[in-house]
Amino acid sequence: MKRTALFTVMMTIMMALSFSANAQQNDGKQEGRRQFNPEQAIQHRAQSIANKLNLDDATTAKFMDTYKAYLKEMHGVYAKYGQGMGGKKKDEGKTDAQVEQDIKNQFAMSRAIIDVREKYYTKFRAFLNPRQIKVVYAQERDNAHRMKGEKERRGQGGPRGGQGGRGAHGPNNGQPAGRNG
């Protein structure tokens, strides 16, 4: 009887220690989720799209180089114009002139994005067909939506200032929070 009780206690202690050791190995990272630096993230996105397009090795190499350059240029546009953009919360306390300047900056950013897309469309067209390019742009759009949703889920902003992921027409059917009518 004493042996069985001692064995049970020892097994319980060993199990508890193994669980705590496993928890410490994760270092706070979500299990099964990779952590990429920006360069690795770009590489991963480019490889993912190349795989989706089912390209041969030579075309994959051209695509990877071109797509990475495209993403870097797009990031430059967002870095240049992305500051000061936002929704109602970010507009509070701004003068009309400042809000107007934000709107003009949004126009300039949209033009810059179109310029980059047109520039790289010509480069992509040298080795991809139009349907493949459409897949590239659709994947880019999907990634942007996913990233925006992830930022909002984490409460890191977005136009609604991180309202816990409630969509524009969420549970309140388009009504502002606190209004039930």
- pTM comes to 0.62
Contacts of 73 (CB under 8 A, 6+ apart): 116, 119, 120
pLDDT at 11: 54
pLDDT for position 8: 59
In the chain, domain spans? 36-84+95-153
Consecutive 10-residue runs of the chain (181 residues): their mean pLDDT? 58 54 50 72 89 93 94 91 63 87 93 95 96 92 83 67 43 44 41
pLDDT of residue 36: 76
pLDDT reported for residue 32: 56
Question: Residue 68: what pLDDT?
Answer: 93
